[in-house]
Amino acid sequence: MSEADEACCSTDGERHSHHSAKVKDNLVSRLNRIEGQIRGVKGMIERDTYCDDVLNQIAAIQSALNGVGKVLLEGHMKSCVTERLAQGDKEVIDELLKTMSKLMK
């Protein structure tokens, strides 16, 4: 079972995500590293670091954020989307397409 298989969103009127402790720890760890990278880029700007070096760090941050998004999207599709489709809720497809469009900008 992958990390994403362990996620589940409820549809009880309030939307929640229910990630296992393992998935949550993984996501929080990734986000903590990204947060550190962002602070590093801020310091690079303050130190007048060569622009290409800063841009490379920004690319690394974007890639790391995409990784977090991929884990969340996979879990969402394998749990929330499939559950809602099984319940006959076709609106979830439009919601998913809208979200994916935002992620791909």
Tell which wins on pLDDT, 105 or 34.
Answer: 34
CB under 8 Å to 47, separation ≥6 — which residues?
Answer: none
**Number of domains, the chain:** 1
| Domain span including residue 60 | 4-103
What is the predicted pLDDT for the residue at 3? 46
Question: What CATH number is attached to the domain comprising 53?
Answer: 1.20.58.1000
Are 43 and 34 a contacting pair, CB within 8 Å? no
Count the neighbouring beta carbons within 10 Å of the beta carbon of residue 19: 22
pTM exceeds cut of 0.75 = yes
55-94: pLDDT as tens digits: 999 999 999 999 999 999 998 898 889 999 999 999 999 9
